[in-house]
Amino acid sequence: MGQRPNFTDDGDRLIFDYVTAALAKKGIPDDVFDEARRTLGDELLMDLTGLAGYYSMLATFMLAFGLMPDPDEPRAPWRTGA
C-alpha cells in the first residue's frame, strides 16, 4: 500500500489509521477504534466506514471489469496541475 505519510494533523492521522486497518480486513485494533469513536462520534464513524467501503467496492468493480477513466474527459484540477 505504500508508506505511511507523516501527518501534522492528529485527525488526519486517525482517519488514515482507521481506514487503513478497515480495508486491510484484519480487524481494527481496539485502540484505533476507541480513539476514532471517541474523537469522531458514532454517526461520523459510521459515515467514514461506509464511505471507505463504498470506494473500495467501486475500485473492485473497476478492476474486475477493466473499467478505466476516459482519457478524453477533463481531469480533476489537482491532477492537471491547474
The whole-number average pLDDT for the span 38-58 is 97
Rounded CA separation 57/55 (Å): 5
| Domain residue limits at 32 | 1-64
Which residue type is seen at 8?
T
Q: Does some domain include residue 72?
A: no
Rounded CA separation 30/21 (Å): 11
Q: Does some domain include residue 71?
A: no
Q: Does some domain include residue 74?
A: no
Q: Does some domain include residue 81?
A: no
Report the sign of the C-alpha dihedral through residues 38, 56, 1, 68, in that order: negative
The whole-number average pLDDT for the span 50-55 is 96
Q: Report pLDDT for 2.
A: 74
- Of residues 27 and 25, more confidence is placed in 27
